[in-house]
Structure 1
Amino acid sequence: MGDSVAREDDQGRQQFMNDLIQVARGEKKADLLLKNAWIVNVFTGTIDSGDVAIYNGRIAGIGNYEAEKEIDLRGSYLTPGFIDSHVHIESSMVSPEEFASTVIKHGTTTVVADPHEIANVAGKTGIAYMLEASKSLPVSIYFMLPSCVPATHLETSGATLSASDLKSLFKEKSVLGLAEMMNFPGVLHRDPIVLEKLESFESKLIDGHAPGLSGKDLCAYMAVGIYSDHESTTPEEALEKLRLGMYIMLREGTAAKDLKKLLPIIDDFTAPRCLLSTDDRHPEDLIEEGGIDLLLRMAMKEGVHPIRAIQLATLNPANYFGLKDRGAISPGRIADLVVLNDLEAVKVSSVLKDGRMAVREGELLLKPKKKAVPAKIKKNIKIEEVKPGHFEIPRRRRGKCRVIDIIPNEIITKQAVVPPKTKEGRIISDTERDIIKIAIIERHSGTGNMFVG
């Protein structure tokens, strides 16, 4: 039975190739012809005038063709669909269907997601939901499997994922590798659990997460096959990683905003190893500002050549992740295409996904079906009653307390030691100095554990 199905698949593929060759040679009409486009060529760095022929979701050729249907772009720019190299869909606070319906309007046709947050709560059930919910959407969603669930041994999580748990998901076509290895201390100290995961993914990609790691520790971290990072916050940090052979994902999220600071690292030699990433973006930011299109606008405004900027969001991530069927406007590649009225403003007019019009003038045409969310994922907050008195902090004799010092627009923090504001023997929030309380409540098992600081 299996061999028979395989032969049928092979025959179907061969017939498709036969038809595609005929279309490419002009012997058969294309399905769709995009006429009079300024084609952004990410191979040569040029903008070429021409027509693009599409057949069965693929680009058949560029040139003079006949087609069943024609769309006159009237001199609009045509770019490859944008690729987000690292994103946590859960940070958008919506389902994969809603996420895809939003980012496609901004030109993103492919994302590489790390479902760490949902896995931290629901384990393999959470990942299985994300894999299933990401099928048949107007955006291609690939996955890097969460490497650190829980993130550290100090964390109380809703699940634990072992190397064998992760390996059982290898068969999924959308799984590309192991997501950000946040536990870099575990790598450096040769934690057996960490090493087992790294060994399991030796044949696949392994993304990094190494803020501030440098020198011999960085070498040790990379020596086990970790070749990308999205946590650099200074040009110096990013350049050290580039010199050692890492790919750098330039991030601009809702909380962590590193793109402008890192753009100076881009030159003729480093550009091919740089990618764009939104990492974590909240829904209002995605809707009002955009996703990868926002990063492209920012890069161009800071002086990055428009085509080079577009390479960071198309060809470069396609090369890094081995997605050879996308990332450029080229014969044989998937017809994921973005029509721009203004190149440097990255003003998205229309978006084609697999050769079909997905967005026209801001209107979503390919609307995905919503999928049921498992009960285990929806009903997972287990906490006892929380009362105002639980947030009280008695004044301490020493008179000072440690404060998490937030660095604006960065994910890293500092520590400060200051005298707190007190009232009636209790420490209270001090809004004048922007020092407020923080509470952590265990929500997975209903233990009642709570910390207030």
Structure 2
Amino acid sequence: MEKSNTLKSWPEAAARLIAVAAGRAPADLVIRGGRWVNVHSREILEGHDIAVAEGRFAAIAPDLSAAIGPGTEVIEANGRYMIPGLCDGHMHVESGMLTPAEFAAAVIPHGTTTMFTDPHEIANVLGLPGVRMMHDEALMQPVNIYTQMPSCAPSAPGLETTGYAISAEDVAEAMTWPGIIGLGEMMNFPGVIQGDPQMLAEIAATQRAGKTVGGHYASPDLGAPFRAYAAGGPADDHEGTCEADAIARVRQGMRAMLRLGSAWYDVETQITAITQKGLDPRNFILCTDDCHSGTLVHEGHMNRVYRHAVACGCDPLVALQMCTVNTATHFGLERELGSIAPGRRADLILTSDLNTLPVEHVIARGRTVAKDGALLVDCPHYAWPDAARRTVTLGRALTPDDFAIRAPEGANTVTARVIGVIENQAPTKALTAEMDVADGLVPADTGRDLAQIALVERHRGTGGVVNGFVSGFGYSGRMAIGSTVAHDSHHMIVVGTDREMMAAAANRLGALGGGITVWKDGAEIACVPLPIAGLMSDDPAADVADRAAAMVRAMADCGCTLNNAYMQHSLLALVVIPEIRISDLGLVDVTRFELTELFE
């Protein structure tokens, strides 16, 4: 297994690369007779060969037969397009419910050879040691996985309690690790805007290390607050949802990252900044942000995003730049990867069509890693310790009474604040509903699509449960779904229509050690065990995808009709995206960044 830290650097490989390019020495690999898609000049050059040595591109020319020696591997391109391996500029491995090894195994056949990952999910559960585990497994893989040090755990101080808190000192330490490429998304944008000392110290530590600061500005206000955020140093942002967002970011010198995840469809509404307004595409990057295992196994990864961008009217060569060289340049790696050019890592895809992008042959660091959808290399696993597998602590068995929502004394009706789910988007709506009181309690009302939601504390065993209401899932009958994936604090989210089912789901997750469980009419009908930090499985991606698919079907059996509803479920505690969320401290008004009461 070739690891990233055994790949020779460009200076170490230079003498051999020069000799191969000059025709004085044979290449390790020659790819013959392909169409060279050049993302630097944005052109397609017919009838070219590619010579590879030491895992890097040595030369690209119409005829490199002189580089073929007795031991040279030869691959016939047969007129196919030769494009750079795809890069994901912003993503969270944990959202795939997989460890870095299994995530890599899932996406390599789709042509992804470079990922820039922010493991802030595990940071909330296990702190800096958890980040190091993700970092170390990432470096073991046969493709390039760079790690951004998480910036915000908690994501909004004072509005949630995490398992661990990240400090500026933690950030400074991580900047010395070999696989750290920068600072993860700076979600505490109010803190940056207000000049919070810790947020500025984290940004300063990153900039002193000469690395990239990731952004996250989840507000529609593009006036003074956005200008203040941009002045704070974040170099990119993926939270845009409309054309104006994309334009504002690039005008302020940021890279606009357009995402297509399992549930976030934000490319089509922003790419018109390029296709219609004609903005320079160099400052636009494609990414996924969050993809669950089912999407990875059955639909793809960055190849899926690329195809979508092309379907939205983007020139294929521009779309390719947005998921190769633009991404590499943003992270200061243009001379290392992201293009087929001398000296770069030999990461390459052979494909017969630039519009539909069938991924027929994947090469990473000069060796074939996948062909016709089949993975041909091993993706080594880290030895995850017991401490990473025992992270769900409820403190006690929960009862239906823990999920009882009591009305104010003497009330017959109440006006409740309700979290409104928006299909295919991360934001929620702050709704209100007039609800009846029965025996002093306010129950769910499935006739009006009003389910209960509970946030169960699971890091310290406090036994705390915060209750509220959510609308948009369409659940009916007696059901509940519980998950220890609850961005970003990753307590436990339980949504249901029946308090007994909600208690059963919560207790099941406590016994399981983390994951997702769906209950209906007194029985569990689907389960996805996630033993590592309550977030990930180290089982093969296809197995996890099968369990996840069964979970999605179970949600539908409970009445849910939303596309990728589980992603919406897992984000209901994300207290940095408007308009209203739930945390272990109560309901959070994310337009004001303050706690609010359930009843008006």
Q: TM-score of the superposition, structure 2-length normalised?
A: 0.72
Q: Secondary structure at the match of 2:262?
A: coil
CA distance, structure 1, for counterparts of residue 461 and residue 16 of structure 2:
60
Instruction: Tell me whether 1:385 sits opposite 2:397 in the alignment.
Output: yes
Instruction: Tell me whether 1:399 sits opposite 2:409 in the alignment.
Output: no
Contact 2:56–2:344, Cα closer than 8 Å, also in 1: yes
CA distance, structure 2, for counterparts of residue 215 and residue 88 of structure 1:
29
Identify the residue that residue 240 of structure 1 maps to in structure 2: 248
Contact 1:401–1:417, Cα closer than 8 Å, also in 2: yes
Cα distance change on mapping 1:86 and 1:399 into 2, 3 Å: same
Contact 1:421–1:429, Cα closer than 8 Å, also in 2: no
Cα distance change on mapping 1:279 and 1:30 into 2, 3 Å: same
Identify the residue that residue 361 of structure 2 maps to in structure 1: 350
Which has the larger displacement, 254-263 or 292-301?
A: 254-263
Identify the residue that residue 319 of structure 2 maps to in structure 1: 309
Contact 2:95–2:292, Cα closer than 8 Å, also in 1: yes
Q: Secondary structure at the match of 1:54?
A: strand
Which of residues 74, 78, 90 in structure 1 aligns to 2:78?
Answer: 74
Q: Secondary structure at the match of 1:128?
A: helix
Which of residues 206, 216, 222 in structure 2 aligns to 1:209?
Answer: 216
> How far off is 1:422 after superposition?
5.5
Contact 1:252–1:258, Cα closer than 8 Å, also in 2: yes
Contact 2:139–2:179, Cα closer than 8 Å, also in 1: no
Which of residues 56, 59, 63 in structure 2 aligns to 1:58?
Answer: 56
Identify the residue that residue 6 of structure 1 maps to in structure 2: none
CA distance, structure 1, for counterparts of residue 12 and residue 122 of structure 2:
41
Q: Secondary structure at the match of 2:229?
A: helix
Amino acid of the residue matched to residue 62 of structure 1? I
Identify the residue that residue 327 of structure 1 maps to in structure 2: 338
Cα distance change on mapping 1:228 and 1:298 into 2, 3 Å: same
Matches within 5 A, 1:38-437: 38-49=35-46, 50-63=48-61, 64-65=63-64, 66-67=67-68, 68-153=72-157, 154-203=159-208, 204-212=211-219, 213-266=221-274, 269-323=279-333, 324-383=335-394, 384-396=396-408, 397=411, 398-420=413-435, 425-437=440-452
Amino acid of the residue matched to residue 207 of structure 2? E
Contact 1:104–1:138, Cα closer than 8 Å, also in 2: no
CA distance, structure 2, for counterparts of residue 394 and residue 263 of structure 1:
47
Identify the residue that residue 22 of structure 1 maps to in structure 2: 19
The Cα offsets for residues 135-166 of structure 1, whole Å up to 9 and x where unpaired, read as 22122111111111111222111111111111
Identify the residue that residue 4 of structure 1 maps to in structure 2: none
CA distance, structure 2, for counterparts of residue 206 and residue 231 of structure 1:
15
CA distance, structure 1, for counterparts of residue 203 and residue 141 of structure 2:
31
Contact 2:152–2:166, Cα closer than 8 Å, also in 1: yes
Cα distance change on mapping 1:417 and 1:168 into 2, 3 Å: same
Q: Secondary structure at the match of 1:111?
A: strand
Q: Secondary structure at the match of 2:195?
A: coil
Contact 2:133–2:382, Cα closer than 8 Å, also in 1: no
> How far off is 1:430 after superposition?
2.7
The Cα offsets for residues 253-285 of structure 1, whole Å up to 9 and x where unpaired, read as 123221111110125543100001111111001
CA distance, structure 1, for counterparts of residue 199 and residue 57 of structure 2:
42
> How far off is 1:421 after superposition?
5.6
Q: Equivalent pairs: percent with the same residue?
A: 37
Q: TM-score of the superposition, structure 1-length normalised?
A: 0.94
CA distance, structure 2, for counterparts of residue 253 and residue 12 of structure 1:
33
Contact 1:129–1:374, Cα closer than 8 Å, also in 2: no
Amino acid of the residue matched to residue 217 of structure 2? A
> How far off is 1:424 after superposition?
5.1
> How far off is 1:425 after superposition?
4.7
The Cα offsets for residues 45-84 of structure 1, whole Å up to 9 and x where unpaired, read as 2111211111111111112223212111111111101000
Amino acid of the residue matched to residue 436 of structure 1? A
Which has the larger displacement, 356-365 or 59-68?
A: 59-68
Cα distance change on mapping 1:409 and 1:12 into 2, 3 Å: closer
Q: Secondary structure at the match of 2:35?
A: strand
Amino acid of the residue matched to residue 299 of structure 1? A
> How far off is 1:389 after superposition?
2.5
Contact 1:101–1:138, Cα closer than 8 Å, also in 2: no
Identify the residue that residue 442 of structure 1 maps to in structure 2: 457
Q: CA RMSD in A?
A: 1.8
> How far off is 1:28 after superposition?
1.2
Q: Secondary structure at the match of 1:335?
A: coil
Q: Secondary structure at the match of 1:220?
A: helix
Identify the residue that residue 3 of structure 1 maps to in structure 2: none
> Where in structure 1 are there 5+ consecutive unaligned residues?
1-8
> How far off is 1:428 after superposition?
2.6
CA distance, structure 2, for counterparts of residue 425 and residue 452 of structure 1:
15
Which has the larger displacement, 124-133 or 263-272?
A: 263-272
Paired residues in the alignment total 444
CA distance, structure 1, for counterparts of residue 341 and residue 113 of structure 2:
16
> How far off is 1:315 after superposition?
0.7
Q: Secondary structure at the match of 2:177?
A: coil
Q: Secondary structure at the match of 1:381?
A: coil
> How far off is 1:446 after superposition?
0.4
CA distance, structure 1, for counterparts of residue 119 and residue 380 of structure 2:
21
CA distance, structure 2, for counterparts of residue 211 and residue 266 of structure 1:
22
Contact 1:393–1:428, Cα closer than 8 Å, also in 2: yes
> How far off is 1:286 after superposition?
1.1
> How far off is 1:13 after superposition?
7.1
> How far off is 1:15 after superposition?
6.3
> Where in structure 2 are there 5+ consecutive unaligned residues?
1-5, 469-600
> How far off is 1:296 after superposition?
0.6
Amino acid of the residue matched to residue 338 of structure 2? G
Q: Secondary structure at the match of 1:330?
A: coil
> How far off is 1:392 after superposition?
2.0
Contact 2:86–2:324, Cα closer than 8 Å, also in 1: yes
Amino acid of the residue matched to residue 44 of structure 1? S
Contact 2:259–2:289, Cα closer than 8 Å, also in 1: yes
> How far off is 1:237 after superposition?
1.8
Q: Secondary structure at the match of 2:133?
A: helix
Q: Secondary structure at the match of 1:142?
A: strand
